[in-house]
Structure 1
Amino acid sequence: MRIATYNVESLFDLEKQGYKYKEYKPYGKSLWNKKNYNIKLTNISKVIKDIDADIIALQEIHSIHALKDLRLKLKQIGLYYKYYRIADKKDSTIKVALLSKVPFIYSKEVVVGNSFKYRNIQEVKFKINNKEFYIFNNHWKSKSGPESMRMFSAKKLRDRLKEIGYEKNIILVGDFNSHYEENIIFLRNRNHNDTNGKTGINDILRTIYQKEKANKNKYVENSFYNLWYDTETEKRYSYVFRGKKEALDNIIVSQSLLDNKDMDYKIGTIQNISKDYMIYKGKYPYRWKISTARVPKHKGKGYSDHLPVVATFVLN
């Protein structure tokens, strides 16, 4: 079973209602129109088809309309996701959503404050062959804010994980806006470090204690394992900022998915999907192109500024 996460970069619909970034106002001077919307849907669908995950968590989906349009486009090119859900209880500008080939028991939201500065976390429970597992779809605050904001989301997530029980099969996915070793790299930026060196991804989720390949790790109670450690260092990235590779998108698992029992992560399968057409000039993710003019205009080219990340799980 392949599980993936992909930040599709601002998939806005063409509906008139709902707040949108100014360059995504429908049928305006920025050329966010049917033609460019259809190109965006086609390009993102091409990527998702190449991923071919059984379950894929998405970030930066504007609305249920955009999600349904993407799902229809995927069906037209031969990839059908029967089950889908968007986390839209909070009217944030962009949201997280999930597409699945297999049914889920429920999909609900972990509320992360009342402010629109924080996006809710999507919680989805599955049961396959009598094996239960949970997927939590995250999109934490960007690096425009300090670490305390990502820490806030991490604590809300941790509180919910405690309620479920750390011993359950839990998969945390999404755009955490945090490198797998955020506790090291964020020290270079004093504006981010307002938490005395602590980070949400490393300290709150306790990923800091396991840094070996998955088959060499020792059990650490109430901790989570970041799958990026199960591949070569040079392959651990999903985003490029000012020429530096970062792993902002992560797949993080509970200890029970490493114990070779009922359901497990398949060793060595974590990877980003980085086909040639998805890389711009051989260096960066080929993001959706918008001009930098006074009135920004869509060029009808590109995919996303993030690469998708996928891993395989086995139900024994």
Structure 2
Amino acid sequence: MKNSIYSILFLTLIGCVSSKNLIEKDVSFSKESYIAKNNGEVIPSGYVYSKENSFKVLSWNVEHFVDSFDDPYIDSKRENTPDSLMGDKVANLAIALKKIDADVVVLQEFESAKFLRSIADEKLQNMGYKYFADVPSHGWYMNVVVMSKFPLGVIYGYGNVTTPLLEYKNEEGQLETQNTLNTRMWSLEVYPTPDYNFLLTGVHLKAGRGERNIAMRKGQINFLKQQFKRFLKEDKSKNILVVGDFNSLLGSEEINLFLNEKRNREKFIDPLPRTVMTHTSDDPKRRLDYILMNTNMYKEYKENSASVPQLFLPKKMREISDHLPVTTTFIIK
């Protein structure tokens, strides 16, 4: 009996000892190679961090941006037979991306990261875009994609998540849920420098006015807020940036869920002036697009840098998209 007790105690003690990161046993990797030591990530071989002390982020809904190939698993006329003007859209988008020269680019209504990589390879050579990611829908072509000059880490895809239609019941008095749109939300680790990183969340929330659509967006936002609480519980100084097409008006209930949070570290800030609108691109009269940062990341925000760049004349901007791009800059202190 005594031996059994000792055996159990021994096994318990062994179980309490955490396993060592295998990289620490490999002398070829120095401590400077770590990008995220806790999960074993290192910087890409041969990568050299930029010496710049700032970085720019771009978010843009580029409206039904599809490649020239038919995906047999997606049944949509627009995706099956792309518009003949797509060639012009690709060329104009490339010109716009060169003008903006952002370090991190998040595009909504874009078919795939594969397509974005091909554009970068063919039209954005020598700009430094090496890293691409998305969490594509299985059944639709409008996705949220990212390309970056900085190394990327873990991506958290939310496509399998079911979210509620908050404070809403249908005509039969029943509650509703949905999990068809949540592929258009994800979070991703970004590493601009060896000592500074942030959690980027790209979104394209449910479109449309009306009680049901608002309830759907509130359910999506509620889920994201709970995710952010998890990240902040792990690291209370976590920098969090949320960008994209929120399909929510300035002062709306949905946007206020981010801006009016009582706990300071869970509160988000909208740095764009309230007079700035993003939709439609040729005659902007309302704001649907945002770059929101939590109070941790706001410390690095470059004052007055958030803007909606007017890259072309209104007619040409409308040929690219019905939305205007949003950019902002952060100073790495």
Superposition TM-score tier, normalisation by shorter sequence: 0.7 to 0.9
* Alignment-derived partner of residue 19 in structure 1: 74
Deviations along 1:118-149, one digit per CA (max 9) or x if unpaired, are 44412110232311211000000011562001
Q: Distance in 2 between matches of 1:249 and 1:125?
A: 21
Asked if 1:98 corresponds to 2:146, the answer is yes
Asked if 1:5 corresponds to 2:55, the answer is no
* Alignment-derived partner of residue 238 in structure 2: 168
SS across alignment from 2:285: strand
* Alignment-derived partner of residue 299 in structure 1: none
Higher mean displacement: 6-15 or 242-251: 242-251
* Alignment-derived partner of residue 239 in structure 1: 279
Bigger share in helix: 2
| Aligned-residue RMSD, C-alpha | 2.5
Contact 1:13-1:65 within 8 A present in 2 as well: no
Contact 2:281-2:324 within 8 A present in 1 as well: no
Paired letter, 1:66: F
Which of 185, 188, 207 is residue 121 of structure 1 equivalent to? Answer: 185
Asked if 1:138 corresponds to 2:208, the answer is no
Contact 2:228-2:266 within 8 A present in 1 as well: no
Matched residue count:
256
Paired letter, 2:157: E
Deviations along 1:13-32, one digit per CA (max 9) or x if unpaired, are 22222325324422xxxx63
Q: Could you tell me how far 1:91 is from its partner in structure 2?
A: 3.7
Deviations along 1:72-129, one digit per CA (max 9) or x if unpaired, are 34325x5341111112164433100001011112223134436324444121102323
Which of 279, 286, 289 is residue 317 of structure 2 equivalent to? Answer: 286
Contact 1:6-1:57 within 8 A present in 2 as well: yes
SS across alignment from 2:292: strand
Q: Distance in 2 between matches of 1:45 and 1:173?
A: 20
> Aligned ranges for residues 155-304 of structure 1 at < 5 Å?
155-165=222-232, 167-182=237-252, 199-203=253-257, 205=258, 207-208=259-260, 220-228=264-272, 231=273, 233-234=274-275, 236-240=276-280, 245-259=285-299, 264-277=300-313, 279-280=314-315, 286-287=317-318, 302-304=319-321
Q: Distance in 2 between matches of 1:138 and 1:202?
A: 16
Pair 1:48–1:242, CA change in 2 (3 A): closer
Pair 1:86–1:221, CA change in 2 (3 A): closer
Q: Could you tell me how far 1:245 is from its partner in structure 2?
A: 1.4
Which of 136, 140, 163 is residue 88 of structure 1 equivalent to? Answer: 136
Q: Distance in 2 between matches of 1:152 and 1:303?
A: 30
Q: Distance in 2 between matches of 1:304 and 1:244?
A: 12
Q: Which has the larger radius of gyration?
A: 2
The TM-score normalised by the length of structure 2 is 0.70
Q: Could you tell me how far 1:241 is from its partner in structure 2?
A: 8.8
Q: Could you tell me how far 1:244 is from its partner in structure 2?
A: 5.8
Deviations along 1:231-286, one digit per CA (max 9) or x if unpaired, are 3x43x111139966112110001111234xxxx11111000011333x12xxxx73
Paired letter, 2:215: S
Identity %: 23
SS across alignment from 1:59: strand
The TM-score normalised by the length of structure 1 is 0.73
* Alignment-derived partner of residue 37 in structure 1: 86
Contact 1:6-1:174 within 8 A present in 2 as well: yes
Contact 1:85-1:97 within 8 A present in 2 as well: yes
Pair 1:6–1:148, CA change in 2 (3 A): same
Pair 1:20–1:69, CA change in 2 (3 A): farther
Paired letter, 2:196: K
Asked if 1:57 corresponds to 2:106, the answer is yes
Contact 1:42-1:73 within 8 A present in 2 as well: no
Q: Could you tell me how far 1:12 is from its partner in structure 2?
A: 1.0
Q: Distance in 2 between matches of 1:18 and 1:43?
A: 28
Pair 1:276–1:126, CA change in 2 (3 A): closer
* Alignment-derived partner of residue 312 in structure 1: 329
Contact 1:3-1:310 within 8 A present in 2 as well: yes
Structure 2 unmatched runs, 5+: 1-54, 163-177
Q: Distance in 2 between matches of 1:65 and 1:125?
A: 19
Q: Distance in 2 between matches of 1:309 and 1:52?
A: 13
Relative contact order higher in (CA < 8 Å, ≥ 6 apart)? 1
* Alignment-derived partner of residue 48 in structure 1: 97
Pair 1:130–1:315, CA change in 2 (3 A): same
Q: Distance in 1 between matches of 2:75 and 2:116?
A: 16
SS across alignment from 1:245: coil
Q: Distance in 1 between matches of 2:180 and 2:118?
A: 25
Contact 1:12-1:62 within 8 A present in 2 as well: yes
